[in-house]
Structure 1
């Protein structure tokens, strides 16, 4: 799978940083040479692409503060920061998300994971104009984890009853705020 470096770095950050795993990831990336930072980001992009599907999006749609399609990348980053084991469990069965208490804002706080490597690669004291040029070059070199818009494939039914059947533990724990979590979807 080629994700060993990513998961090892996440595990070390969790051990060393406790609940602020993202700060630990940033600190560890500061200690790495540029090729390893690039490797981390490319592995992270691969993990994000693998997780990007309607089943996981609909499951995250039941969580407080997950943000639907607009917040899907943040939700995947939040899951990645939980570690390899939890990530795999949830990909196999998204209803496993019910195993954890998720506070509003917790998922949005994970947004910085996708920016951690690009920010680490930026020169420290560039004037603003040069910084934009570097940011664009880094984005092009590293790739983008989340294409705009919904995941590929056929959308799931997201009415209340379909979600109750598909994610019984999630719905029991978090309920449903609206009958249709993703308007316009079947």
Structure 2
């Protein structure tokens, strides 16, 4: 699929949405989280074929972050993380921007540096996961096309050649085993396992 949306363009759209959201760009904690609506508006500026390309890259980024260490970090940060929760966590992680996303995929413990994660660890307030981000492209497609019925069919055809993982990559461990979690995620463990004095 040749379109005007490549990975760099995709991240530029995310970063534009973040810039517009300003100080609300890093926290999906409701109410009135503006970022997904801003992103949907920006995607709506694309042609239908480009919206499909945007969603295809969204899936590629989801797959890139489909890793056990990141899932275990999500479980620690959000107090639990099932399959759907991990989809939402990865979607929200993308909304934090390219640098944060890339660092977190390589080193999930780097999430301990984020102000929203620090706040979650100290006060229990804040959120990263974002289910609505998974529907932004489809909503944009509907705005542009006047219908969304063809979205899934066109997207399925566009993604047919993708080799998608059926299980997370990387080393897994039982997050409930505190010693193992501290070994793999020392900074996050300090935030979420050590009570404040």
**TM-score class, shorter:** 0.7 to 0.9
**Residue 9 of structure 2 corresponds to residue 5 of structure 1:** yes
Structure 1, unpaired ranges of 5+: 177-186
What TM-score comes out, normalization by structure 1 length? 0.76
**Cα distance 1:153–1:11, how it changes in 2: closer, same or farther (>3 A)?**
closer
Once the two structures are superposed, residues 72-113 of structure 1 have per-residue CA deviations (whole angstroms, 9 ceiling, x without a partner) of 1111111110100111111121101111223456234x1111
How far did residue 169 of structure 1 move? 0.6
How far residue 171 of structure 1 moved from its aligned partner, in angstroms, is: 0.9
Matching residue of 1:151: 168
1:183 is matched with which residue? none
Give per-residue Cα distances to partners, 1:24-79, cap 9 Å, x unaligned.
21110122211221121111111111110111111111112562333111111111
RMSD over aligned Cα atoms: 2.8
Partner of 1:172: 190
What is the number of equivalent residue pairs in this alignment? 167
Mapping 1:111-150, distance limit 5 Å: 111-122=131-142, 123-124=145-146, 133-134=149-150, 136-141=152-157, 143=159, 150=167
CA distance, structure 2, for counterparts of residue 65 and residue 139 of structure 1: 33
Structure 1 runs (4+) greater than 6 angstroms displaced: none
Conserved 8 A contact 2:109-2:186: yes
2:35, 2:193 → 1: CA distance?
Answer: 28
Gapped regions of structure 2 (runs ≥ 5): 1-5, 25-33
- For residues 83 and 136 of structure 2, what CA distance do their matches in structure 1 show? 21
Residues 150/74 of structure 1: CA separation in 2 closer, same or farther (3 Å cut): same
Alignment check: 8 A CA contact 1:66 1:107 kept: no
Q: Aligned residue for 2:128?
A: 107
